[in-house]
Amino acid sequence: MKFYLSIIALLLLSNQALAIDYINATDFPEWFQKSLKTETKIKKKSQLKIDALKVNSKVLGKAKLAESGDGYLYYTIEFGSDSPAECYVLSSFDGRANSLYSILDGATQDIAEAHEKALTGKFNFAQNAGIIGSIPYLSLDLLYHLGEGQEKLTGLLKGYSAQLGDTLQVCVHNEVGNRASFFSIFESFLKALNTQPFEKPFFEIVYQTSVNGIPAGIALESYKKDKDGDVEINYETAVLMPVDAFSMASSDTAAKSWSTPEGDLINANSYSVENAILSFSYSLNYENETWIAEGESQGKEQRFELSHKGPLPSQYGSYFISSDFLKSDAKETNLTMWMPEIDPSSAVTTKLRKISNNKEVNVEFDLGVINMKTQLDKHGVASLVKMQQGPVEIQLHAVHQEGKP
């Protein structure tokens, strides 16, 4: 399995073949098709130095700090194409998906203004999600039209985003061609910035998320121990979901929780940003032998006392429960957790069932109306998660794993 995962990672690293193109290039004029295939051999490198982030590395192309302000650095990178790549380092952002879409959306307006033409059309052209090394990224290309009739202009705005610690890196490129060359520029920029001394987790896993075959997003978990042995757990997801030919729903979620070494939840925080607006934000704490969930949903403040009494397993603890279940003779077991994305007001019980005679999946997670099938290893770690809910099929494939729970 590990070899197979490495192959996937290599594919994602070495080419863009897995990206989904929504628009058939053969429907476009010859010049567009020809431009789309254009690539540039990038020969030059330049020094990228950012003292605040302790970055001092070579990057592909000629990088120049064009602008900086509160919470952002803005670079242009010339690499021999007609237009430079533009890269942002953001210390204040909404998330991989929301910030990428916001920047692309804003950039199409800026391009229209620069050409003194109206933005007359904007379409989802292509998207992808994958990893560079162990760093998950999202990509999105938007096709745009400016003006009408004989004066109409068509362009392609390509974008990538990836997070490193507390900064988000977003690169955009306004040119029909140089798709692979621009990816190389982004990859180089990201690797140059990945020199910060991040604390290494003892276990991390990254998934590529697909929805009906569309590589729509990424999901990751990481686990670190403090000096007392308590475990800090971080989950993050980023999804760009095309909802029609023109629009993209963007969603970023993040959760941070603490667990005892034995796997009991100490406290938890979770939030979600949808289409650049905070969708929900909750914290869970244990006070006077009662679990209290506080926060807001869709701008409305909420406070709930959970009816569940006593310890709750953390995500870290859920690995122990899954692992013990796999080792046991039991055919099914229950897992009760607080999952504010489903219901912030109560703990939700999931039934785990073993699946026999199936090479692809070995455990089913049943939440009543929702059913997921997974391939778990002996530590309870999923390499594959599949969920078919009516016409929607969600799959998570592990594309990077380091350590174990």
Partner 1 sequence: MRLVVFLFGILHAVIAYAEDSPFLAEIPISLSKQESSFADSQTLQLIYRSYDDEASQSLFKELSEGLSANLDSVGLRLVLEKEATMKSQPLERHTKSSFVIDLEEASTQTFLTGFRARQKDTDETLLDQIAAYASSYIESPTYIHSFLIASKVASDKTGDCTEYAVLTTAIARDLGLPSRYLIGLVILEEEGVIKAFGHAWSEVWHKDTWNIVDGALHELDREKIYYLPTSELENEGPGYLMSVMRAVRYFPKKLDKVTLR
Min separation Cβ 345 and partner 1, Å: 4
Scanning 139-240, the segments in alpha helix (DSSP H) are 179-193
Q: How far is the CB of 218 from partner 1 (least distance, A)?
A: 10
Least distance from C-beta 88 to partner 1, angstroms?
23
Do 374 and 353 form a contact (C-beta atoms < 8 A)? no
Instruction: Choose between 43 and 300: whose C-beta lies nearer to partner 1.
Output: 300
Between 47 and 298, CB nearer to partner 1: 298
Tokens at 80, concatenated: 């021999």
Residue 114 CA to residue 195 CA, distance in Å, equals: 36
Angle at 96 between CA 92 and CA 100, to 5 degrees: 90
CB of 310 or CB of 391, closer to partner 1: 391
Shortest spacing between CB 391 and partner 1, in angstroms: 5
Question: Minimum distance from CB of 273 to partner 1 (Å)?
Answer: 11
User: Taking the CB of residue 354, how many other CB atoms lie within 10 A of it?
Assistant: 16
Q: Which is nearer to partner 1, 64 or 378 (CB)?
A: 378
Query: Least CB distance from residue 379 to partner 1, whole Å?
Result: 14
> Judged by CB, which is closer to partner 1: 13, or 245?
245
Least distance between partner 1 and beta carbon 211 (Å) = 6
**Which residue shows structure tokens 């995500």?**
315
Q: Supply angle C-alpha 16, 19, 23, rounded to 5.
A: 120
| Structural tokens at position 205 | 């896993």
- Cβ proximity to partner 1: between 8 and 241 the closer is 241
What is the SS3 assignment for 161? strand
Interface with partner 1 (CB under 8 A)? 207, 209, 211-212, 216-217, 219, 221, 235, 237, 239, 241-245, 247-251, 253, 255, 272, 274-275, 279, 297-300, 302, 304, 315, 318, 337, 339, 341-346, 350, 365, 367-370, 372, 374, 382, 385, 387-392, 394, 396
Q: Rounded to the nearest 5 degrees, what angle is found at the Cα of 378, between the Cα atoms of 264 and 375?
A: 100
Question: What amino acid is encoded at 389 in this protein?
Answer: Q
Residues 331, 323: Cα–Cα separation, whole Å: 13
Among the listed residues 320, 55, 305, 303, the one whose alpha carbon sits nearest the alpha carbon of residue 197: 55
Q: Which residues of 67-85 are buried (b: 16+ CB within 10 A; e: fewer)?
A: eeeeebbbbbbbbebeebb
Based on CB atoms, which residue is closest to partner 1, 195 or 260?
Answer: 260
Q: How far is the CB of 191 from partner 1 (least distance, A)?
A: 26
Helical residues (DSSP H) of 39-165, grouped into ranges: 96-114
Q: Nearer to partner 1 by C-beta: 87 or 216?
A: 216
CA–CA distance from 73 to each of 16, 119, 347 (Å)?
27, 27, 42
